[in-house]
Structure 1
Amino acid sequence: MKTTFDQLAARQPQLFSAADIRVDKAQLEAMAELVGAIETVLALPAFRAEALARAPASARLPTAARGVFMGYDFHLTAAGPKLIEINTNAGGGLLNAYLLAAHGRADEGAALLAAILDMFLAEWRLARGDAPLRRIAIVDEAPAGQFLAPEFELCRDLFAVNGIAAVIADPNDFLYADGELRLAGEPVDLIYNRLTDFYLEGESCRAIRAACLAGAVVLTPHPAAHATHADKRHLMTLSDPEKLAALSVDAETQRILLAGVPRTVTVDPADADALWAGRKRWFFKPPAGFGSRAAYRGDKLTRRVFDEILAGHYLAQEIAPPSEHAVMVDGQPQTMKADFRCFVYDGHVQCVAARLYQGQTTNFRTPGGGFAPVFAAAAALDG
């Protein structure tokens, strides 16, 4: 049965805010410009070679796919947008297509749905040419229990209504045999990968890993996309003029990057005293983390946690505070922080959505918070 927006909102009300966010058109253009500059650097042969060389072997498997639903997350400041991180398999793209329609932008929502479908078809054509796409699997660990499980259902419905068989599955459900990846005895051509085992290293991924090694399935996003885009150590390169110059990045691209990517450094125990003294300047995060796990604002740190950070191969990123927005919740004004996610495919921004919250990090637990559509406006940011 086709899943509706009202059903989603009833099941997971914390996913959606009733608010919409108005952002100066220049900020939206600056985000797109910064995405383009970053993509230029990440595509450089020297950069890719280094990124793939230090990644697990699965990242070096040949693939023609580009990787669906790249997520570029920003905070908006008076000095322009600041990149916080880049994610593969970023959640929320389909949700925001339906959210646009719920906010009276049905044409925009339909256009985004069409772009999302075209994205998957493009991935298939890049890998398999004109071969028929018979069956897609949307894959995550214990998918029914995932917070964004409703989006998996939307994705399945989108494929099904367009004549493509689609299922939602756990990685343990697959069997690789006789040159085919199978699920319940039926072949699977393409996997929409929602796993956070980004390099398919766990035992649960053994069949998918074997199929990828044999080139028997199209996986998107794939380990190479994570290695070249989402490794947070790339933030050090993107914010370092010497490293950019060593890659022969042109002056204009450097200007865009250095204005929009907060300075990011390795946490070196030898610098412990200086980092502790200046901790309010930094946000500490693990290089392989996701979803704000084990990430800390310096001004909230205890000495015990700081000692764990020193031992944990962390990065420190200069804090770029999120913008704040007045939102009506149950008839009362509330101040919400926002981060802004650009959903990107092949270097092009498909959609920009806000995630509204209170607290240290995006959490989808704040009453009145959640995803909110972003519309261009001439007015400046609130807050």
Structure 2
Amino acid sequence: MTLLSHTGHLPITTDQQCEQKVRQLNSQCRCGSLNREAIRAELWQQQDDSNLYQMIIEDRPNLFAESPVFVTDSCIKKQQEIIGAVEMVIALPAYQQRVLAYAPDAAKFIPKAHSVFFGYDFHLSPKGPQLIEINTNAGGALLNAIVARTQKACCDRSDAPLPPPITNASVIAHPEQAFIEMFLEEWQAERGQQPLRSIAIVDETPQNQYMLPEFILFKKLFEQHNFTAVICDPSELVYHDQALWHDSQHIDLVYNRLTDFGLEAPAHKSLLEAYLTEAVVMTPTPRAHALYANKKNLVVLTDEAALIDIGVDAKTRTILLNGIAHTKSVNPDDADNLWTDRKQLFFKPAKGYGSKAAYRGDKLTKRVFGEILQGDYVAQTLVQPSERQLEIENKIVDFKLDLRHYVYKGQTQLVSARLYQGQTTNFRTPGGGFAQVLVVPCQNKETDS
């Protein structure tokens, strides 16, 4: 996330004018800021690995968008306010008791580690940012950290020239150091001052994963800080002698990128046993997913009666009810109303991830709707994403966008956007993908010096 400095050449005096300026930039600023040569130099200098450049830029041509996204600072502050309100509620014992009632058994185990890389995803609606979901193993933070340092200055096609971008003082210039410190904090919460020696980055068939380049970047980052690191499938891990092993390597910490959030699959038995017996430190954890990321939790967070019942104060309730897309559980008994209202709804599996098996109501067929009624789904009020226009191959192309905050212990570490077409985010749209976020400051006349 980058902040554009305020000067006399940027005529912004009210929030309304500021929002208008941002809409104008998102529609008229069409130059490319993605600097592939700078990315190549960055990877070569820090990682000494030209293969990574091919994997990131050439093999995955839609991983990064060509241009940045513009957002007002007041919009970012509102998002952080919503995040703070959510974190406050999740800390309440009454909330935890309620959502753990439908959680897998592994979530009942209480670790000391908090869990890394929460992803708070927002759509930007006319009435303000709306939280649409929370993820507990959000990918892309390390990739976005590298690209943020390599952006080209651009976008001077507005009605007034923009000043050159500067780094927001609240965002760390080198997030990699913050990420390392975060993993160490996770380790020390469980093990105190014992030395951390080895880390396994775990996902199913990692060599086939779209985010493999980020796994490799994390492996190299861990190795640069003198930790032994491996990327592996959970089937390669064995629990014996009160320890978790990868071949002959004892594993101290697992960076968990699995989407089996409760470790319920038989193939994950060794990992589950090692976690429950505290033979290994895992982050993020099954409990974190149960408390934060199950879509049913959004039903609680957008139900005023439930919030009152668990002891949430009036101010926090207002922030949540205004800042989270209203969500309700799909009940077959309510089928007629859901079908009638479907065009205003988005249907998501409660334990879903990555937009898999998620459907816009206006695209539903009766057959798919029947399957949703028999599944474990929620129905969320459809919040239309805001838009970004870019010039791709000499054509003006409309993109949808969402914003993601990478969060640790309630604090935003990094903000990125995703540009896409279709009904959900993806990395298949030419010119789309992760986009850098440029934050435009708003300044009222009364306080303008």
Q: Which runs of 5+ in 2 are unaligned?
A: 1-46, 153-164, 443-449
Q: Distance in 2 between matches of 1:278 and 1:55?
A: 29
Q: Distance in 2 between matches of 1:164 and 1:313?
A: 41
Query: Which residue of 2 is the match for residue 244 of structure 1?
Result: 307
Query: Which residue of 2 is the match for residue 178 of structure 1?
Result: 241
Query: Which residue of 2 is the match for residue 80 of structure 1?
Result: 128
Contact 1:3 1:154 in 2 (8 A): no
Q: Which runs of 5+ in 1 are unaligned?
A: none
Superposition pairs of residues 182-193 of structure 1, within 5 angstroms: 182-193=245-256
Query: Which residue of 2 is the match for residue 155 of structure 1?
Result: 218
| Distance change in 2, residues 1:172/1:226 (3 Å) | same
Is the aligned partner of 1:229 residue 2:277?
no
Query: Which residue of 2 is the match for residue 133 of structure 1?
Result: 196
Is the aligned partner of 1:165 residue 2:228?
yes
SS for the counterpart of 1:366 is coil
Query: Which residue of 2 is the match for residue 298 of structure 1?
Result: 361
Query: Which residue of 2 is the match for residue 53 of structure 1?
Result: 101
Is the aligned partner of 1:13 residue 2:65?
no
- Bigger radius of gyration: 2
Q: Distance in 1 between matches of 2:64 and 2:260?
A: 27
Is the aligned partner of 1:94 residue 2:127?
no
Q: Distance in 1 between matches of 2:118 and 2:358?
A: 21
Query: Which residue of 2 is the match for residue 44 of structure 1?
Result: 92
What is the CA distance between 1:3 and its match in structure 2? 4.2
SS for the counterpart of 1:339 is strand
CA deviation vs aligned residue, 1:166-206 (integer Å, no higher than 9, x gap) = 11011011111111111111100000000011111112211
SS for the counterpart of 1:256 is helix
Give the aligned residue type for 1:268: N
Query: Which residue of 1 is the match for residue 343 of structure 2?
Result: 280
Is the aligned partner of 1:334 residue 2:397?
yes
Give the aligned residue type for 2:101: A
Is the aligned partner of 1:24 residue 2:72?
yes
Q: Distance in 2 between matches of 1:84 and 1:28?
A: 15
Is the aligned partner of 1:351 residue 2:420?
no
Is the aligned partner of 1:208 residue 2:256?
no
Superposition pairs of residues 311-322 of structure 1, within 5 angstroms: 311-322=374-385
CA deviation vs aligned residue, 1:19-61 (integer Å, no higher than 9, x gap) = 1111011111111110000010011011112222331221122
More displaced stretch, 197-206 vs 105-114: 105-114
Identity among equivalent pairs (%): 48
What is the CA distance between 1:334 and its match in structure 2? 1.4
Aligned pair count reads 380
What is the CA distance between 1:378 and its match in structure 2? 4.2
Question: What is the TM-score when the length of structure 1 is the normalising length?
Answer: 0.95
Query: Which residue of 1 is the match for residue 26 of structure 2?
Result: none
Question: What is the TM-score when the length of structure 2 is the normalising length?
Answer: 0.82
Contact 1:325 1:336 in 2 (8 A): yes
SS for the counterpart of 1:307 is helix
What is the CA distance between 1:6 and its match in structure 2? 3.5
Contact 1:283 1:318 in 2 (8 A): yes
What is the CA distance between 1:260 and its match in structure 2? 0.8
Query: Which residue of 1 is the match for residue 429 of structure 2?
Result: 366
Q: Distance in 2 between matches of 1:113 and 1:365?
A: 27
